Structure 1
């Protein structure tokens, strides 16, 4: 990914946003894992916990790639992931063609 001043500003803002989202999801996970004792809520809680954990994994992966300097490069073919895709899906690990191959 190009590293001009505009991109650096965008990456810095993205990192701040992802960090905030990570903190919010962590707080949510803490709340979700608190046992309410209501067996009727167990199934719904389990699904919410799984979704929150998946979001945390995706966000932390994006933050790791930002720190490592590999953010914005496809993990399969190493081509640049278009910024438009990253703006919509900031945790994207693959370019569209590689993602389609990954999904089958």
Structure 2
């Protein structure tokens, strides 16, 4: 990599860190709101939906937190299975991606 490329990547990672941190804050507030919501409507469907929303929000927080950790430890953008670089285009669409597409497909079965 050249110095210009390194600088551009550092800037991109800094912007991404800011965006992910903001998303983490938003999702944390959402989780707090969902956790405090205790209205029992008597409808089992509502309880199931609420439970699913809690699980999804927790999962999102875990993924964002893991992506932030990878940025901090210098492994962001590297496939956790084959250790090749994950294409920037994939990371732009799915910033919390842990695997390149072929490894993700194998991971999903």
Residue equivalent to 1:62? 67
1:12 aligns with 2:14: yes
Matches of 2:12 and 2:94 in 1, distance apart?
14
Greater relative contact order (Cα < 8 A, sep 6+): 1
1:43 aligns with 2:48: yes
1:44 offset after TM fit, Å? Answer: 1.2
Per-residue Cα deviation, 1:50-88 (whole angstroms, up to 9, x for no partner): 110110011000000000000000000110000000000
Matches of 2:65 and 2:88 in 1, distance apart?
19
Larger CA Rg, structure 1 vs 2: 2
Distance 1:31 1:94, change over 3 A: same
Gaps of 5+ in 2: none
Alignment length (residue pairs)? 104
Matches of 1:39 and 1:71 in 2, distance apart?
45
